Amino acid sequence: MRENEHEHDRQRSGRPEREPSSGRAADSRLGTPVENEIPIARPAAGTGPASGLRRERQSAESAPTNPAAAGASPAGGTGSPRTANPHPGPSPGAPSGAAPDTRAASSGPAADTAGAAAAASAADTASALKLRNSFAADEEVPQASSSANRSALRSNAAHDREEITDEDLLELTIETFKEKLQSGRWTCLQLTQAYIERIGRLDGELNAVLELNPDAAALAKQLDDNFDELGSLPLFGVPVLLKDNIDTADKMTATAGSLALEGRRAQRDAFAAARLREAGAVLLGKVNMTEWANCMSWKMPSGYSSRGGQTRNPYGDYPVGGSSTGSAAAVSANFALGAIGSETSGSIVSPASAHSVVGIKPTVGLISRSGVIPLSLSQDTLGPIARTVLDAALILEAMAFGDEADACTLLKQRPVSFLPERSAMPDRLKVGVVESYAKKLDPDTAAVFERALKDLERAGIEVRRGLEFPADEPEEGSAHGDAEEAQADGIVLRREFKAAIDAFLAEQPHGEFPANLGELIAFNAEHAERRLRYGQHLLEESEADGGVMDDEAYIEGKARGIRRAGERGIDFALLKYGVHALVFTGSEGSDLAARAGYPLVSVPAGYTESGQPVGLLLSGTALSDPLLIEIAHRYERKAKRRRPPERYS
């Protein structure tokens, strides 16, 4: 199986395997181009462990036909004036005068409405209690609020409960944890401590976790002490690991794997990190990543950073994928209930496939990039990694809100729920196999893929074969075909990287870190033996290109990439062949979704004869995230192909 190990490197260099950059395709649709369209804005259903926060429903008439029209990149796009806050009323740090978001009323039974109201009430209570993010070493952890039910808290005390064993942690799901928690047998503190102990004991060889949050146990105890009021939060007590490019306003650092940012602590949570806290998650630690998200050197292997070294695959001597390598490896080894990665092109779904876990790369614009060390202004997004589709969807649901600081998130319409079995779906779901991609598979991977297609059919999903892309052919008027287009693609990403990194570094404390990309390059060169094991020619190419984003080369290159990925790629195939999604293996096809800003879901498909994990990749049009998640969930329930790595079982 061909691994997309250097997807960012290829794009920046103009090599033809890589994709160009884009936000969302110019002709993006809000539904699928087949006879049964997917409802995008529909009230979520469900209560108990799987119930999440609700979102405001916007009328279909007011929605743009192109998500890009609702918001461009943070560099200067415009969007809806509505601020999609996760709770009614202004959120902490929201711009003055921002319009608050509201939850949609459930269309389900009374119990569903009650579940939504409970989650909403708990979220508001969490804000009112002002739960802490960080504690001084000698500071006593805050106890329950004055209105808490003391009897309930005493019955939920750790010393009265079951011990959590290592076996309990294997393949643990959010739903199972919540059942244990709500029955009083486990506490948040117990689970957090159990994961901390497991990481300390088993991560040495894997090398996935860079640092643990020194306040994790205190944060978990703080939740336990407010269990009666906050226990209905959708991620209450769920330990989550974060990629090393996501800011957190605590004692942890965010460095993008670079020694140039060693010791960097953020003053504010990334928007997505703040939403996770509000949903009740415990931010457990930071995990390793490919340095600068694979935009440093062709020679740098995925999963390597100067700060963290090389992350390995828990299944053996196999490719690890990147750049969210630590996120996938840690979840696969059962070090947390989930993790957050980021993707520009393949950086979530590639390591998810390599580590036999679920990875969701959402439509660009569904999750804010505020507080995330950037790579591409138009392609970057965060996304969840978990062991099951439902767990990944629950984590996604907690993060997917609009943010005025990131204009591309201010969509007039967005999915109300991402949870499987919660939205009306077409009577017959259909997926298509692109012939040119299937033919490239090696025999071992092809055998796994063929079995996965049969599993899809057993799950009631129709499989159509023999799909073709006009995008496989050079565009009319392209003098040199793929080589010319690949060069244009490289220009787009190099310039976006230069502009984004310069802006990011300029915001850092003066004199503590490099002030721009040129200073970063010089800093690395001063101690090349530690900082430049694999060189930095991709950084140097970006610096030389200048970051100009208003000339013909950039504008036309970006437009061509969007056109070939959407109108002549994914959207063309969905419409022509009457399917709801395309299916690939590994990270094949992720380059097209990257250009168009379209969603992807990777779910374990099985293993080759040698034991190498293979993922099934689902690709769809803009805002078809709930549909891809539904297909993945149905497939997962029928196939059940994931097995934990033996050496970590």
Q: Where are the domains of the chain?
A: 7-139+166-413+425-475+559-648
Sheet with 600-607, strands from edge to edge, namely 209-212, 282-287, 239-243, 338-343, 381-386, 358-361, 600-607, 613-619, 581-585, 430-434, 462-467
Architecture of domain 7-139+166-413+425-475+559-648 in this structure: Alpha-Beta Complex (3.90)
3-state DSSP assignment of residue 287: strand
Which of these, 558, 430, 565, lies nearest to 491 by C-alpha position?
Answer: 558
Q: Is there a catalytic annotation at residue 347? A: yes
Cis preceding-peptide flag for 356 (omega within 30 of 0): no
The answer to whether 371 touches 269, Cβ cutoff 8 Å, is yes
The whole-number pLDDT of residue 19 equals 33
- The catalytically annotated residue of 28, 106, 323, 378 is 323
Least-confidence region, from 175-179, 454-458, 469-473, 586-590? 469-473
* Residue 189: pLDDT over 90: yes
- The catalytically annotated residue of 178, 221, 243, 498 is 243
The whole-number pLDDT of residue 82 equals 27
How far, in Å, CA of 598 to CA of 362, rounded?
7
pLDDT digits (tens, 9 = 90+) for 216-271: 999 999 999 999 999 999 999 999 999 999 999 999 999 999 999 999 999 999 99
The whole-number pLDDT of residue 74 equals 37
The whole-number pLDDT of residue 379 equals 97
* Residue 45: pLDDT over 50: no
- The catalytically annotated residue of 347, 423, 602, 624 is 347
The whole-number pLDDT of residue 124 equals 73
What is the pLDDT confidence band of residue 470, given thresholds at 50, 70 and 90?
Answer: confident
Average pLDDT over residues 336-351: 98
pLDDT digits (tens, 9 = 90+) for 484-502: 566 667 899 999 999 999 9
* Residue 540: pLDDT over 80: yes
The whole-number pLDDT of residue 49 equals 30
Which of these, 638, 644, 2, lies nearest to 319 by C-alpha position?
Answer: 2
Average pLDDT over residues 212-219: 98
The whole-number pLDDT of residue 133 equals 84
Average pLDDT over residues 632-648: 98
pLDDT digits (tens, 9 = 90+) for 87-145: 333 233 333 333 333 223 333 334 444 555 666 667 776 666 667 788 776 665 545 44
Least-confidence region, from 49-58, 442-451, 491-500? 49-58
Q: Is there a catalytic annotation at residue 323? A: yes
